[in-house]
Chain A
């Protein structure tokens, strides 16, 4: 009789392990493909949890094979519609050595098949951020640990009575009693044996006395002694803050076109992705500004158009205000990313920005990145103002104009800066 088994409920995924082995094998190729993927639309999808396709070339699995270009072969084919024996058909170009195309062209068998690997979002991000080491951020991260938690850590012999662990103490006591009892009982046995054999009355009396003494000792083993007591031990472990807030500040004045906004958006997305990798909870605050600053939602932030001149300082003030209102307790790791084309209303405004960042923003946040999107050779006023902050550990700035520059710049911004140090 046959057996019928419904396997559908079994987990599929026998191949997961082998797939991992394969991914490891093509790790180099995947990493190489990342910048390309970065500069395509895909990044927005990956934020939403979609899969990422990465084209890779097949790995060679060599074996002894015939070179298809050599030798004499007969092949039987079906569906003859026009040939008779002895017919000659010209070989396609490149085959048979007539055309001088070189050897590579007539080896269709040896070309590597290209195919794409589908990576899950998590896998993608892992490769994505693999190279980025952020020591100064990590340092900040540790400094920002503000909360402590008591964690059980075994037992100790001395502590306050409220932490007495009765079970363990009793075990200790029990052990001690058994050990001591054993000694006395052994002694008692020997004495009794000696007594049974002893004939001399005086010595008998002596032995009896000793037995009496031993018996009393046996009875008086204390139930608990200080020695037995065990207390629960606790140690204080720092609790890292697991939430982060990311401020996105963007200039939406008339001078920021679609292209500039697109680049900013990608940059913000990237930073967001990075933070979601580091922190459990990431909140976003969008601040847009032209002549005045306003907190908006994401939709409005990127999509609605506004024009007018540019004053930057109010947005930084607004950010400071929001931090004070909502993110003031030490639970938050604060990041700020500002994107602008560098135009400001006046040098005075630029100077104010510099001051605000230096005195008010930087002390209270983990990191601030400024990207300027323009292809001007000359430096903008804001750029010049921020340049004075270059030495600050928590501050980085870069200039980009093309979409495909984003990834290298991002890497540059966050790369271990104190390599030399």
Chain B
């Protein structure tokens, strides 16, 4: 009892210290584990200054990254916005790694610290550790080591081949980063150690097989693809960076290695882009429950709760579409509302719920919430769990913007007719193909020119941004080192746009 009193005193004081954080971590962890069955990675909580937070922002949250001007640009923009007061910094940032690193801002109040520890170190952490997408597509164990390896490798390349050359390769890779992800194959787990050994082996093999005679062969024979008959590649390949890394005819080894690094980073961030709503929603749901549980158990006083409710509700504020603060759907709000709704349907279903979500009726809410957290990503999660009640509460409606129409057309609103449509449209909005064009490598002309042919499948009439597509093709050409052609094809296979280089 004595301990609880001490903790209560610590949590309700405005200033925190090392002991406060330890206590907050201990209590939230116990509640998370015992009351909400959270399985988490061990936590590593780091207290940072605002400048360090800015650094973390521009390295997209990784503690280290390879050097590139793009990160410098992000830093300069963030710094400029921050110093002008145009942008606030978040209270925390959390990294999908094991141990799970979270950065907490030094100027958080005690209440914020407790909230942030519950949010990041329990909520996000559990999400990283249990969501199937993260488990199968990223390797939390080795990402930090891998980034150290990547950094060292690129620094070495800069020394050896010059800054400019390395920068050009990275620029080109970044342009294609969205197309460097395996969406269906699960990538191998990363390991810096293995990566280094793989490189060593590769150069050993090369050294052993080196033969001066090979150099005298005519150039044409250098490319010797295994599948000689018919098309190459046999199946269209959508991972452009992977294809180039493996098949570019004359690319030197170190450039392939850099492509690989960018590809691995893209792969690592792939699940984060696809689970924003769920991830933030779940973390918010968890901090809400954990802090309330702490209050019930007597760790917190009313003053703390008032501050907590204030912060919690500001996080969840969703400005309406016509507000000047509106900047899209707030993923925290959407996710939190859906998770709360799952709980409600399990506990107090209405007639409507029984028709819409029969599988949740009468189930244990905690099991259902954790099941949803573990087995979905944003698009499937919305399709499965977005209920009419949430659509009504948020007054969701859908606007159609059709190229041929002179006016926007309201497609659906929060009524009986619209629920299903809104659910599908919202799910589609969070599908990757809605913001990353579907581009694949169709074939390579092996006989003559080594020209690589790509095709863009136009969906919903959305064509490519022409200038950008042309510049990107030029980057692709830089990597492939032979001519490149991209066709934009519509549904019927008719070519609408064509981009060429070389």
Contact = CB atoms under 8 A, between A and B. Distances in A.
B45 A67 contact: no
Interface in A303-355: none
B460 A73 contact: yes
B288 interface: no
The bracket for how many chain A residues form the interface is 35 or more
B184 interface: no
Contacts of B103: 7
Interface in B14-61: 18, 21-22, 25, 29, 42-49, 51-52, 54-55, 58-59
Contact of A75 (B58, B319, B398, B414): B398
Interface in A1-37: 1-8, 10, 12-15, 17-25
B212 interface: no
B411 interface: yes
A115 B461 CA distance: 34
Nearest to B425: A74
B83 A118 contact: yes
Contact of B468 (A62, A79, A83): A62
B500 interface: no
Contacts, number: 267
B471 A77 contact: no
Contact of B466 (A5, A21, A67, A84): A67
A70 B461 contact: yes
B174 A61 contact: yes
A64 B394 contact: no
Interface string B95-122: 0000100010010000000000000010
Given A76-B329, A76-B398, A67 B465 contact: yes
A65 B437 contact: yes
A76 B465 contact: no
A405 B331 CA distance: 53
B80 to A, nearest CB: 5
Contacts of B425: 74, 76
Interface string B410-442: 111111011000100110110000011101000
Given A60-B471, A63-B175, A67-B462, A74 B411 contact: yes
A68 to B, nearest CB: 8
Contacts of A408: none
A174 B320 CA distance: 90
Contacts of B42: 1-3
Given A3-B45, A19-B72, A78 B468 contact: no
A2 B43 contact: yes
B353 to A, nearest CB: 21
B75 interface: yes
B94 to A, nearest CB: 13
A90 interface: yes
A63 B413 contact: no
A220 interface: no
A50 interface: no
Contact of A19 (B76, B175, B429): B76
B407 A70 contact: no
Contact of A78 (B394, B418, B437): B394
A196 interface: no
Nearest to B22: A4
B402 interface: yes
A97 to B, nearest CB: 8
Interface string B443-461: 0000000000000101011
A363 interface: no
A117 B80 contact: yes
B321 to A, nearest CB: 4
A74 B400 contact: yes
B467 interface: yes
Contacts of B167: 21
Contact of B401 (A22, A24, A72, A78): A72
Contact of A18 (B69, B83, B401, B475): B69
A85 B469 contact: no
Interface in B167-186: 167, 174-179
Interface string B61-85: 0001001111111011101110100
Contacts of B29: 2
Given A15-B71, A63-B468, A91 B437 contact: no
B283 interface: no
Given A12-B52, A61-B174, A88-B407, A76 B426 contact: yes
Nearest to B430: A76
17 contacts: A3-B45, A12-B55, A13-B51, A14-B59, A15-B72, A59-B73, A63-B175, A63-B178, A63-B472, A72-B403, A76-B422, A76-B425, A78-B318, A78-B329, A79-B322, A109-B465, A116-B80
Interface of A: 1-8, 10, 12-15, 17-25, 58-81, 83-91, 96, 98, 107, 109-110, 113, 115-118
Nearest 6 CB-CB pairings of A with B: A79-B320, A71-B462, A22-B72, A18-B72, A12-B51, A62-B471
Given A62-B469, A63-B175, 10 more contacts: A7-B46, A15-B71, A19-B75, A64-B464, A69-B403, A76-B425, A76-B429, A79-B326, A113-B77, A115-B81
